[in-house]
Structure 1
């Protein structure tokens, strides 16, 4: 009599990973279950299909909580999220159940840094106003008259009248440092940042970055000084309770009248109502947002959508073909490592 064959580990994927799906489909030693429709995985479908799962690939909208773990059962070994953010995962719960968690940092750094610069340029050069001037046909109308300061905004690069430019970073991780590298070409001369308490080697890192980018200054400062001195403020800090509404009315009132605010991290860090008020009352010049608190339920009636000097794009920071493929591939690699007891390329230590 032949020995019983060991059952294949069950893997549930909450969304098709597009060109990365063959990495899963070709894996003969797993039992694969996929939500294949081009929309978010419904919660009832997920709870119905994860019982007995050893591994699950999730996205930002898939909440990994007590209900999720209870439905999966005791055999769940790994949750792999195709995201750098992990607010949707209850990490203490994962630790209690010895469930490994994979995520996808690093691979989206360059794409998000690119769009961070794009939003700074769009916000400074009045993108909403200038685009609509052409789109609505106003440019061609007889009553459209050129004037020396019509449609002007603050310049990102240095000029004769403004020989210094200070970039401020709320958070100074990988994406912030990649953004700083891009800003050097615009002539940024000073960089300030704030974030978690400086690590033991941060001074060495800062000196190296200052020398490499030929900056006049690179300093870790408190939040008040960051607000007061930044010409362009980049919000690049993680979300969560510790950074909720860190950029509030008090913070915005300290900023320069011609300053720009760019947020490509988490919408919850910026108080939307306070930012709308700051733009309306000219405390700051403009804002460029890839993320907004409450997204995707951001309608044409949202106070920030109504502000002409606020540019909003729908959370597309990592939306390049190359980066999304890298993220999906990393999510699959993390999953397999968790299933088969190997080191993950990117594991959250829970």
Structure 2
């Protein structure tokens, strides 16, 4: 078998495949570059198996590479592959569901802590030279008292400006209860949070217990202290969260999104933040990426934490998807049932 690897991959874990065929590494796997159609066609001709991450595997690519027998995508959703064209050629597509669920769940909790405790804002203020003294301060202890260390007290001090809320005792509303949503719930439970879940595809029997409950979307928005999105984009979820939903939120509540920007009406969220209808938001995904330099999230709003689509960006996720792909490629070569075939 001849295998082309253009994926973000763990080279050490990939070595297990070398005994099964000739491997060519190019594109992202070699030089951190996404390939275009013509480059891919040139490299893929004569190859039996493709392992890719981000390259557009279009109908043109699939049709012109006559020897192609298997497409492996190292992502949780193979959106860069024309699945219909692959099926027309009877080419299986394998993918890696759940490969970055843990790190995305952890990032979601980190985002909640960042916005509710205003950690990035406090950090930036110090790096910008605010709330600092010109020289080292010597703390004097008055007679009869014990050492009391405070940064500063009074209006305009960090203690006042950056005061936030803890997670324990508050309600986390999860929109979507798949692999990532469940992991977020597990971590949040350890923090002592009560969990509300909105997922029309799950029975309440699978969710309800003493600390979590399946609820309507209306109840979730009205009662949650934190609301976090964890659903895929389809016709039922695109634009799911808009002006009406933000109007229902508590003024003290926070909105978190580490899933996809298309789920949210971004202009409605900007309005809610601008008018302080909600306490704040932490976003890792946006309606259009990268966001532009003069976006309100960047230059105007100070009740938001933004990150450039990093929730799944860990070396562990790369290890996970390499292990999954290597295992399934070996199964394909040995004519065994595939574990991660996309259907």
Counterpart residue number, 2:137 = none
Find the aligned partners of 1:239 and 1:20 in 2 and give their Cα distance. Answer: 34
Query: 1:64 aligns to what SS in structure 2?
Result: coil
Counterpart-to-counterpart distance in 2, 1:222 and 1:205: 15
The secondary structure found in structure 2 opposite 1:246 is coil
Measure how far apart 1:172 and its partner are: 0.4
1:303 is matched with which residue?
296
Aligned-residue offset at 1:30: 3.4
SS in 2 for 1:287: strand
Deviation at 1:149, TM superposition (A): 3.5
Q: Which residue of 2 aligns with 1:187?
A: 192
Counterpart selection for 1:314 from 308, 329, 332: 308
Q: Paired residues, what number?
A: 321
Whether the aligned pair in 1 keeps the contact of 2:180 and 2:230 (CA below 8 Å) is yes
Q: Normalising by structure 2, report the TM-score.
A: 0.84
> For the pair shown, which has the larger CA radius of gyration, 1 or 2?
2
- C-alpha deviations, 1:312-342, integer Å up to 9, x for none? 2222223332232112222233333334422
Correspondence for 2:270 among 262, 266, 276: 276
Flag structure 2 segments of 5+ consecutive residues without an equivalent: 135-153
1:262 lines up with 2:256 in the alignment: yes
Per-residue CA deviations over 1:63-120 (Å, capped at 9, x if unaligned) read 23312212222x3222111111222233333333322121112332221111110001
Give the CA deviation at 1:33.
Answer: 4.7
- How far residue 22 of structure 1 moved from its aligned partner, in angstroms, is 4.0
Which of residues 172, 177, 184 in structure 2 aligns to 1:167? 172
Alpha-carbon RMSD: 2.5
Contact 1:275–1:304 (8 Å) recurs in 2: no
How far apart, in 2, do the equivalents of 1:85 and 1:293 lie?
Answer: 18
Q: How many angstroms apart in 2 are the aligned matches of 1:266 and 1:206?
A: 23
Secondary structure of 2:19's aligned partner: coil
Kept in 2, the 8 Å contact 1:170–1:194? The answer is yes
Alpha-carbon distance change, 222 to 99 in structure 1, aligned in 2, over 3 angstroms: farther
Of 80, 90, 101, 2:72 maps to: 80
Alpha-carbon distance between aligned partners in 2 of 1:347 and 1:28, rounded to the nearest angstrom:
20
The residue that corresponds to 1:287 in the other structure is 281
Q: Is the 8 A contact 1:56 1:335 kept in 2?
A: no
The 10-residue stretch of structure 1 (85-94 or 174-183) with the greater mean CA deviation from structure 2: 85-94
Q: Is the CA contact 1:20–1:325 (under 8 Å) kept in the aligned structure 2?
A: no
Alpha-carbon distance in structure 1 between the residues aligned to 2:2 and 2:11: 21
What is the TM-score normalised by the length of structure 1? 0.82
Answering whether residue 64 of structure 2 is matched by residue 71 of structure 1, we say yes
Tell me if the contact between 1:87 and 1:239 (Cα under 8 Å) persists in the aligned partners. no
Report the counterpart of residue 204 of structure 1 in structure 2: 205
Report the Cα distance in structure 2 between the residues aligned to 1:144 and 1:203, rounded to whole angstroms.
Answer: 47
Matched, 1:233 2:227: yes
Contact 1:126 1:151 in 2 (8 A): yes
Quote the residue 1:161 is aligned against: none
SS at match of 1:242: coil
